[in-house]
């Protein structure tokens, strides 16, 4: 595609206004986790916005009307593409933006424009559409293994039910204690719930959406929505914040209408069950817990209170907080598919969370996202050698990672 072609095709009118609104005040820089670990201003929100405004002005600005569209330097475009893919799309910049730019949806659209121009996605992100087409998941793992290695024995899945459960690819293949915990808790609550077959439960589309690769999205979303409707689902529950975010915010536009069922994060469903007395906690935990808010759950769909309400109900548990928590939480480093390419950034950001949890004296770092679970787990391996804490052996004795439903399933 010629560098002179329009740069605004993927953007809504509101996003064009947002791009124009950035005052370059720099407030967001204080909260950007990628800035924190790289100090590279070229990948900062105002710099990305400035460059993209330049691309628009060069091809569609006033001067271009009189003298024709200018050609954007290819090198500049390539640097921009790298910057926009190095972001974790955590949305902290948008949360703190002085003019209210909704960056969690602006960055994916800029990525989409890079895909249109053949400049994105980058690295192994390019393999995602092929993997999803072949196996239904971005990890290219056999569909037949989606549920079988972790699904707890003795929990019955109904053929049809008003409640549906979507495990999600990252949970099913990369964070199995988390999804096992979900099912054990749903089993204890006791009402009927249904699931799609392993071959039917394909990717929700988030890894494609977030990397700007939109081709398969409509087909995936329609396939899933129709399958859940056939199962009689009225409420669809899921524990992966990225899936929940994608379903609640973006599925309606790919489906072409309001969804015929409600989307809820598992902590919302379980907090409600506890309040109604449908789930009872039988045991306590005499430990200090610290809860990490996933970006796509807290900033993304506003779920911050329910996970805390669940943890506060566990007798003996003391709940600590990160300095930045709730909607202001700091990314764990795993978001936006950046972890697939910028591995060192992801590990360095995850270690910031581990450092703070340890400094606050937490014994368990409680997570609620499979991407956090897998990446923070990786960062914790070998952490002692690299952290500057010296010769502390056995990190698992210093700080244990646990998913919130995995934890809860042990006390009900």
Query: Which secondary-structure segment (H or E) carries 237?
Result: strand 235-238
Q: Which is nearer to ligand SF4, 43 or 163 (CB)?
A: 43
- 3 state SS of 154: coil
Q: Which is nearer to ligand SF4, 22 or 178 (CB)?
A: 22
Q: Which stretch binds ligand SF4 (CB under 6 A): 60-68, 88-96, 149-157, 209-217?
A: 88-96
Q: Which is nearer to ligand SF4, 91 or 136 (CB)?
A: 91
Q: Contact, 152 vs 180, CB < 8 A?
A: yes
Q: Least separation, in Å, of the C-beta of 35 and ligand SF4? A: 6
# residues contacting ligand SF4 (CB under 6 A): 27
Kind of pairing, strands 318-320 and 262-265? unpaired
C-alpha distance from residue 256 to each of 126, 225, 236, 247, 259 (Å): 27, 11, 18, 13, 9
The residue from 38, 51, 72, 88 that contacts ligand SF4 (CB under 6 A) is: 88
The residue from 37, 72, 93, 348 that contacts ligand SF4 (CB under 6 A) is: 93
Strand ranges across the sheet with 262-265: 163-166, 235-238, 262-265
Q: Which stretch binds ligand SF4 (CB under 6 A): 54-62, 84-92, 183-191, 204-212?
A: 84-92
List binders of ligand SF4 among 15-54 (CB under 6 A): 22-28, 31-34, 45-46
What is the Cα–Cα distance from 196 to 202, expressed in whole angstroms?
9
User: 187: which 2 tokens?
Assistant: 């089993």
- 128 is a contact residue toward ligand SF4 (CB under 6 A): no
Q: Least separation, in Å, of the C-beta of 23 and ligand SF4? A: 5
The residue from 11, 101, 357, 407 that contacts ligand SF4 (CB under 6 A) is: 101
- 3 state SS of 125: helix
Give which of 406, 388, 405, 389 is closest to 397, Cα–Cα: 389
- 89 is a contact residue toward ligand SF4 (CB under 6 A): yes
Q: Which is nearer to ligand SF4, 21 or 392 (CB)?
A: 21
Q: Least separation, in Å, of the C-beta of 80 and ligand SF4? A: 13
For helices 74-86 and 103-116, the axis angle rounded to 10 degrees is: 140
- 97 is a contact residue toward ligand SF4 (CB under 6 A): yes
Q: Contact, 28 vs 92, CB < 8 A?
A: yes
List binders of ligand SF4 among 309-338 (CB under 6 A): 331
Q: Is 341 exposed, middle or buried (0-12, 13-18, 19+ CB in 10 A)?
A: middle
Q: Which is nearer to ligand SF4, 49 or 399 (CB)?
A: 49
What is the Cα–Cα distance from 56 to 20, expressed in whole angstroms?
11
Q: Least separation, in Å, of the C-beta of 36 and ligand SF4? A: 9
Q: Which residues bind ligand SF4 (CB under 6 A)?
A: 22-28, 31-34, 45-46, 87-93, 97-99, 101, 103, 107, 331
């Amino acid at each position: 595609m010629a560098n002179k072609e329009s740069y605004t095709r993927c953007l809504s009118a509101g996003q064009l206004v947002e791009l124009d609104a950035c005052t370059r005040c720099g407030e967001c820089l204080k909260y950007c986790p990628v800035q924190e670990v790289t100090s590279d201003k070229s990948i900062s929100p105002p710099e990305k916005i400035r460059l993209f405004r330049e691309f628009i002005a060069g091809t569609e600005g006033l001067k271009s009307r009189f003298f024709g569209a200018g050609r954007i330097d290819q090198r500049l475009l390539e640097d921009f593409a790298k910057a926009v893919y190095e972001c974790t799309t955590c949305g902290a910049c948008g949360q703190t933006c002085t003019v209210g730019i909704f960056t969690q949806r602006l960055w994916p659209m800029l990525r989409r424009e890079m895909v249109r121009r053949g400049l994105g996605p980058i690295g192994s992100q390019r393999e995602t559409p092929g993997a999803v087409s072949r196996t239904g998941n971005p990890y290219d793992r056999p569909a037949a293994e989606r549920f079988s290695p972790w699904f707890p024995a003795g929990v019955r899945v109904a053929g049809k039910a008003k409640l549906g459960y979507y495990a999600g690819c990252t949970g099913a293949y990369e964070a199995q204690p988390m999804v096992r915990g979900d099912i054990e808790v749903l089993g204890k609550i006791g009402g009927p719930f249904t699931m799609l077959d392993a071959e039917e439960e394909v990717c929700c589309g988030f890894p494609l959406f977030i990397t700007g690769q939109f081709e398969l999205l409509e087909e995936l979303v329609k396939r899933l929505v129709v399958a859940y409707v056939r199962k009689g689902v009225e409420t669809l529950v899921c524990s992966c914040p990225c899936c929940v975010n994608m379903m609640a915010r973006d599925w309606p536009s790919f489906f072409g209408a309001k969804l015929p069922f409600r989307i809820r994060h598992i902590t919302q469903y379980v907090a409600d069950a506890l309040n109604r007395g449908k789930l009872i906690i039988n045991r306590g935990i005499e430990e200090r817990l610290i809860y990490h808010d996933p970006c796509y759950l807290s900033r993304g769909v506003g779920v911050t209170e329910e996970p805390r309400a669940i943890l506060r109900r566990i007798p003996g548990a003391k709940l600590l907080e990160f300095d930045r928590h709730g909607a202001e939480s700091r990314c764990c480093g795993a978001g936006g598919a950046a972890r697939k390419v910028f591995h060192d950034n992801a590990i360095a950001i995850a270690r910031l969370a581990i450092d703070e949890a340890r400094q606050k004296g937490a014994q368990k770092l409680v997570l609620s996202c499979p991407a956090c679970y897998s990446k923070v787990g990786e960062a914790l391996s070998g952490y002692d050698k690299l952290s500057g804490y010296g010769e502390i052996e056995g990190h698992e004795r210093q700080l244990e990672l646990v998913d919130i439903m995995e934890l809860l399933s042990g006390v009900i």
